[in-house]
Amino acid sequence: MPIYFFESSAAVKRYINELGSGWVTGLADPASGNRIHVSRIAGVEVVSAVTRRSRGGSISPSDAAAAIALFRYHFMYNYAIAEVSSALISSAMDIAETHGLRGYDSVQLAAALEVRADCIALGVPGPTLISADGDLNAAALAEGLAIEDPNSHP
């Protein structure tokens, strides 16, 4: 079973139609057999991104409400959640210092690396980070994670 870690910029594509949405939706389809991980902070980031798009006028309030409701359902029942612990925050601080990433991007990468460590402990292949953030992707590659940019999959 392939394992993916959706950073928020990728997760949003499942709920708002934009470049890469079809590909992300396919990865997340339960019929694909893929396991999708997200960090706990993705809950805030995805709801914020959808709300900001609605307030900016690029999607209607009713479409935003439907997208948020679907995301909340998936967040509760379909995604494996990487919790934000003290140890994860400590790792994220090191990542921020090493790679110069923004705060939540550092937390996202720390969570993906934690999922990779769990996979290694279980003897299964680690996750592929799915992210549309170039700086985050570069840092993930430097940390040895496989990455895919959904914007490369129109």
End-to-end Cα spacing for the chain: 24
Residues 90-128 pLDDT 10s: 999 999 999 999 999 999 999 999 999 999 999 999 999
pTM for the structure as a whole: 0.96
Residues 23-72 pLDDT 10s: 999 999 999 999 999 999 999 999 999 999 999 999 999 999 999 999 99
Q: Is the pLDDT of residue 11 over 90?
A: yes
pLDDT given at position 14 = 98
Query: CB of 128 within 8 A of CB of 2?
Result: yes
Q: Is the pLDDT of residue 154 over 90?
A: no
Q: Which residues contact 131 (CB under 8 A, 6 or more apart)?
A: 7, 9, 10, 108, 137, 140, 147, 149, 150
Question: Tell me: domain 3-152, CATH 3.40.50.1010, correct?
Answer: yes
Domain boundaries, given as residue ranges, for the chain: 3-152
